[in-house]
Amino acid sequence: MKKRIFLDGLLFALLIFLMCFKMFPRRYHEAMGVVIVLPILLHLVWNRSWFTSLRRGEWSAYRKILAVVDILLIVSTIVALVSGVAIAHRIFKGVFGLAWQRSILVHQLHITSSYWMLLFSGLHLGLHWKGLWWRLVQWRGWDVSSRSYRLGTRLAVTAVIVFGVAGSFLHRVGDRLMMEHVFFRTNTPARGFSLAAFVLFFVAIFGMYAVVGYWTERRITRKSI
């Protein structure tokens, strides 16, 4: 349990760091892009039963949505990693050739796939949130019936949604997802905020999609009862 929580936390931290690529030197971004591969592979190994079970059992609406999100998350991750290698200036410089490295299309593909990866990662967490959160509650010994617990979770969800929506506009997430060309330093309002706020907005965006995934899971499971 502790190992899985640590791995998920590490993946989350690395993903957020990579999304803040313009706030740190390029060499750190490329290095962390290599580092994140190991926990991704470990996460897949620990959850390899998901692949072997695809041909077994009934396909409920929840299982179909979960499979689509997981597959799209895998695809966007592969595209982000491969395009990242193609445009690398240091660690993998020249692997795909100079034309790929300088291609605006490949750069935009890398940015777009990274934002889709963030979105699907949030949905992925949200769709699994019920089981993960319950194990965490049991591990920490929280009293879910207490007034402070209910109030705290509601305030947290509200804050995540508010900051997530604001962050989506400030980071121009819609333009990124649609592969619109955005000049980071001049056209992104989020660039004018402090580093802490810049990171917080990305955390909230991720959390907002996790909330969407959780609400989707709840709605689907209630209908199936």
What DSSP string describes 120-137?
HHHHHHHHTHHHHHHHHH
Residue showing tokens 């580092």 = 35
Q: What is the pLDDT of residue 1?
A: 61
Average pLDDT over residues 172-184: 79
* Rounded Cα gap, residues 170 and 179, in angstroms: 16
What's the pLDDT tens digit per position in 158-173? 999 999 999 999 999 9
Cβ-contact 97, 188 below 8 angstroms: no
The pLDDT confidence band at residue 50, using thresholds 50, 70 and 90, is confident
Cβ-contact 91, 30 below 8 angstroms: yes
Q: Which two tokens stand for residue 63?
A: 């299982």
| Mean of all residue pLDDT scores within the chain | 87
Average pLDDT over residues 41-69: 89
- Count other Cβ atoms within 10 Å, centred on residue 136: 13
Global confidence as pTM:
0.87
Q: What is the pLDDT of residue 185?
A: 47
Average pLDDT over residues 142-152: 77
In 3D, which of 88, 127, 87, 121 has the Cα closest to residue 107?
A: 87
Query: 101 or 126, which is more confident?
Result: 126
Q: What are the backbone angles phi and psi of residue 213, rounded to the nearest 5°?
A: -65, -40
* Rounded Cα gap, residues 122 and 69, in angstroms: 10
